[in-house]
């Protein structure tokens, strides 16, 4: 039988887990995996359960499964969803000229390692058209014409909507999203940047980091908000460097870390493992 993923978040109170597990037992649901977290400071509760049918009472249709759970969710005021585990999240990737993150995502997707459906790539440059189309993915060149950023971002949002995409992934897209686009994609847009921020903002961060003699470099994947590079963090990683590493070494190492961190963040989002929790996230790894 098809496995499903139930996710929910709500104000914390006694009886949530008992109600969920009791409901699943009552419809012959067999729990495969369950993770939960209570944020005592915020008073919020988060739950992710994978389950499948194990008897005749289990609903055959997904709509019936959701309808049956709705009273439980309503009792606790939950934000919730039930999704088939093999349902692939649809994503659009935004890039500029750097290929390392895009190439990594396309390769993981093409080999079946990344459980998403890439429905398009948008870019303000033509540089990565050949790479994208070689993988059989539509490429949308959306330059900023005469400084009209609003029109360009409206076209980008149209690509997301027309592709029925659940997520926009900024894979080294070297433009700052405007407030309207950030708001329209709240909780649905992931960015990757080097972890020097805020210490080394602006141009040539690796050169300035090298000049300062840093010993750790890394990357951060986060949700995009109206505050530049300050959205809720999903994943981070670092690599140790030393005095022997040149600026070119730092760039090479940093690109590898960026690609790995972004791929993990996209995978966890696609597997419904990431929950927004104010300015933070809960990630059931």
Which three-class secondary structure state does DSSP give residue 38?
A: strand
Query: Which of the residues are catalytic?
Result: 229
Which pLDDT score is estimated for 155?
A: 97
Q: Scan for tokens 């070494």, then name that residue.
A: 249
Which pLDDT score is estimated for 266?
A: 98
Give the DSSP per-residue string, 131-195. HHHHTT--EEE----TT-HHHHHHHHHHHHHHTT-SEEEESS--SPPPHHHHHHTTTSEEEEEET
Dist. CA 248–CA 107, nearest whole Å: 24
Which pLDDT score is estimated for 198?
A: 63
Which pLDDT score is estimated for 199?
A: 75
* Burial of 238 per CB tally in 10 Å (0-12, 13-18, 19+): middle
Dist. CA 45–CA 37, nearest whole Å: 6
Q: Please give the model's pTM, rounded to 2 decimal places.
A: 0.95
Question: DSSP secondary-structure letter at 178?
Answer: P
Averaged pLDDT in 10-residue chunks for the chain of 285 residues? 95 98 98 98 98 96 96 98 97 97 98 97 98 98 95 97 98 94 96 79 82 91 86 94 94 95 98 97 97
Asked if 92 contacts 160 with a C-beta cutoff of 8 angstroms, the reply is yes
Which pLDDT score is estimated for 197?
A: 62
Asked if 219 contacts 264 with a C-beta cutoff of 8 angstroms, the reply is no
Which pLDDT score is estimated for 167?
A: 98
């Amino acid at each position: 039988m098809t496995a499903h993923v139930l996710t929910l978040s709500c104000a914390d109170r006694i009886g949530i887990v008992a109600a969920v597990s009791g409901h699943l037992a009552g419809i012959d649901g067999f729990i495969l995996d369950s993770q939960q977290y209570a944020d005592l400071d915020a008073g919020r509760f988060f739950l992710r359960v994978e389950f499948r049918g194990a008897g005749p009472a289990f609903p055959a249709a997904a709509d019936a499964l959701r309808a049956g759970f709705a009273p439980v969710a309503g009792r606790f005021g939950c934000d919730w969803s039930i999704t088939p585990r093999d349902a692939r999240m649809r994503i659009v990737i935004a890039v500029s000229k750097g290929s390392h993150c895009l190439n990594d995502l396309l390769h993981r997707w093409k080999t079946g390692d990344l459980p998403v459906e890439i429905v398009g790539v948008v870019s303000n440059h033509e540089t990565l058209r050949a790479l994208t189309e070689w993988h059989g993915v539509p490429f949308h060149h959306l330059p900023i014409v005469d400084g009209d950023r609003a029109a360009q971002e409206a076209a980008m949002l149209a690509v997301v909507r027309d592709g029925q995409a659940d997520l926009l992934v900024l894979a080294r897209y070297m433009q700052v999203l405007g407030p309207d686009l950030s708001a329209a994609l709240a909780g649905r847009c992931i960015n990757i940047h080097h972890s020097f921020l805020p210490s080394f903002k602006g141009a040539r961060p690796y050169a300035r980091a090298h000049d300062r003699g840093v010993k750790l470099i890394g990357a951060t994947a986060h949700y995009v908000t109206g505050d530049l590079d300050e959205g809720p963090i999903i994943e981070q990683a670092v690599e140790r460097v030393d005095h022997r590493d040149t600026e070119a070494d730092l760039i090479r190492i940093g690109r590898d870390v960026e690609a790995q961190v972004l791929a993990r963040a996209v995978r966890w989002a696609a597997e419904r493992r990431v929950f927004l929790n104010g300015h933070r996230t809960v990630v059931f790894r």
